[in-house]
Amino acid sequence: MNVPLLDLQAQYVSLRDGLHQAIERVMVSQRFVLGDEVRQLESSIADYCQAKHAIACASGSDALLLALMALDIQAGDEVITTPFSFFATAAAITRLGGRPVFVDIDPQTYNLDTSRVADAITPRTKVIMPVHLYGQCAQMDPLLELGKRHRLAVVEDAAQAIGATDNERRAGSMGLVGCFSFYPTKNLGGAGDGGILTTNDDEMAQRLRRLRTHGGVTEYEHSEVGINSRLDELQAAVLRVKLPSLDEWSEERGKKAAIYSRLLHDAQLSFPLIIPYVREEGRHIFHQYVIRVPGNRDALMEHLKTRGVGTKVYYPIPLHRQECFSYLGYKEGDFPESESAARETLALPVYPELTEAQQAYVVDAIRSFPH
Ligand SMILES: Cc1ncc(COP(=O)(O)O)c(C=O)c1O
């Protein structure tokens, strides 16, 4: 049996007609950038994320960049974030000359350890940027409280977490700005790159709209320098076809996760394997199902590959160990939890159409690992 890490074909087959009609609608309109499709997507995403505004842009990476531009991050400003994330999280900060100030993660959730954030605040701190990793919200209340107390903006990197909740609040609705990615592998993925920002703040929404179109107040009048980060109509049309299924897909992912956790628990493995921890206070949308295998991760990954099971490591090198950030002066050992997560974690295949037989096969393959 072959179990790929992700199978987008299955989703495509189920939505084929709707997708083709949507693409045709855009082709017939010959309107390709920031038109009605984008406006309607923005309105639906704002509703879905329980935010007042949604502003579409070209990618999740640009969403982060735009959010920090709108907060006037510049040389020397500090942004507190996690070193255990996708590269874009820190890159958005450094592209503006800002300084990522990393805080280690909670080893259970892989999200920012909120108890350590206060110690990282300095007079130069401008923003706290938690990442809702793998589809589970960071613990937001302590961060919002710190933000309020120190007058810092909280920006949510919710690229992996559309529809996740923390105490009934949706990802992207809690901080000043939420940043989402529509990269094809995300729970809500387009047919290419795409992203969106959410905010409840009217002025922030207006500024983000300007910044994504070169800072233009009108087409040829510019109050500031922005970037070109518009969403295509084709992407918006595709995403609009998919959005009504998103909750069902995320529920299915949650069910698959529960099945894995039960099967792995019952498998009586002869080596340590830690299943994902799910916070009681929220909804985990299982963008990834990530296990932890102390000491054996790479060998298990190799073994699963020979058995036809796709796996992936998110992320093998923590951000403070990336060569391009060596100037920040961090060294091995500075963030031990992130470093051990980078050594020990492994994502198993999870997607709504994954079958129970496939899951049983994956767990059997894990059980047969000769360590
Ligand atoms: C946590 C996180 N932040 C930011 C991004 C950037 O999103 P995009 O790939 O759409 O630029 C991603 C996407 O992979 C992500 O996982």
Phi, psi for residue 65 in degrees, rounded to 5: -60, -45
Distance 371 CA to ligand 1 centre (A): 34
Nearest alpha-carbon partner for 65 in 240, 246, 195: 195
Determine the atom of ligand 1 nearest the C-alpha atom of 133. Answer: 1
Omega before 315 within 30 of 0, i.e. cis: yes
Tokens matching residue 57: 């842009």
Residue 11 CA, ligand 1 centroid: distance in Å: 21
Q: What is the pLDDT of residue 77?
A: 98
Distance 272 CA to ligand 1 centre (A): 30
Q: Distance, CA 181 to ligand 1 centroid (Å)?
A: 6
Residue whose Cα lies nearest atom 7 of ligand 1: it is: 60
State in Å: Cα 89 to ligand 1 middle. Answer: 7
- How close is the Cα of 61 to the center of ligand 1, in Å? 6
Using the atom order of ligand 1, give the atom closest to the CA of residue 62.
11
Residues in the ligand 1 pocket, defined by CB under 6 Å: 59-61, 64, 85-86, 88-89, 131, 157, 159-160, 181, 183, 193, 195
Please state, in angstroms and rounded to a whole number, the distance separating the CA atoms of residues 349 and 358.
Answer: 9
Gap from CA of 183 to ligand 1 centroid (Å): 7
Give all strands (DSSP E) within the chain, no chain letters: 53-57, 78-81, 99-102, 125-129, 153-157, 165-166, 169-170, 177-181, 195-199, 216-218, 221-222, 282-283, 289-292, 345-348
- State the pLDDT at residue 151: 98
pLDDT of residue 119: 98
The residue behind tokens 């950030």 is 325
Kindly report the backbone phi and psi dihedral angles of residue 80, in degrees, each rounded to the nearest multiple of 5, phi listed first: -85, 125
Query: Residue 301 contacts by C-beta under 8 Å, 6 or more apart in sequence?
Result: 311, 313, 346
pTM above 0.95, yes or no: yes
Using alpha carbons, list the distances in angstroms from residue 180 to 38, 49, 121, 197, 216.
Answer: 15, 10, 25, 6, 23
Measure 145 CA to ligand 1 centroid, in angstroms.
26
Nearest CA to ligand 1 atom 10: 60
Distance CA 34, CA 370 (A): 54
d(CA 148, CA 279): 24
Q: Which of 181, 212, 239, 315 to mutate to test the pocket of ligand 1 (most atoms within 8 A of CB)?
A: 181
CA of 365 to the centre of ligand 1 (A): 30
Is 247 within 8 Å of 260 (Cβ atoms)?
no
Rounded to the nearest whole angstrom, what is the distance from the C-alpha of residue 267 to the centroid of ligand 1? 34
Q: Which atom of ligand 1 is nearest to the CA of 183?
A: 10
Q: Are 63 and 194 in contact (CB under 8 A)?
A: no
- Quote the CA–CA distance of 345 and 290 in Å, as a whole number: 6
pLDDT of the residue at 219: 87
Regions in the chain scoring below 70 on pLDDT: none
CA of 195, closest atom in ligand 1: 10
pLDDT of residue 371: 76
Q: Are 100 and 47 in contact (CB under 8 A)?
A: no
Nearest ligand 1 atom to alpha carbon 194: 10
Closest among 229, 235, 131 to 189, alpha carbons compared: 235
DSSP string, 216-282: EEETTEESS---B-PPBHHHHHHHHHHGGGHHHHHHHHHHHHHHHHHHHHHT--SS--BPPP--TTE
User: What pLDDT is recorded for position 17?
Assistant: 98
Q: Which atom of ligand 1 is nearest to the CA of 132?
A: 1
Nearest residue by C-alpha to atom 8 in ligand 1: 60
Our mutation pick for probing the ligand 1 site, out of 65, 109, 160, counting the most ligand atoms within 8 A of Cβ, is 160
- Tokens representing 43? 């309105």
Using the mean position of ligand 1's atoms as its centre, give its distance from the Cα of residue 88 in Å.
6
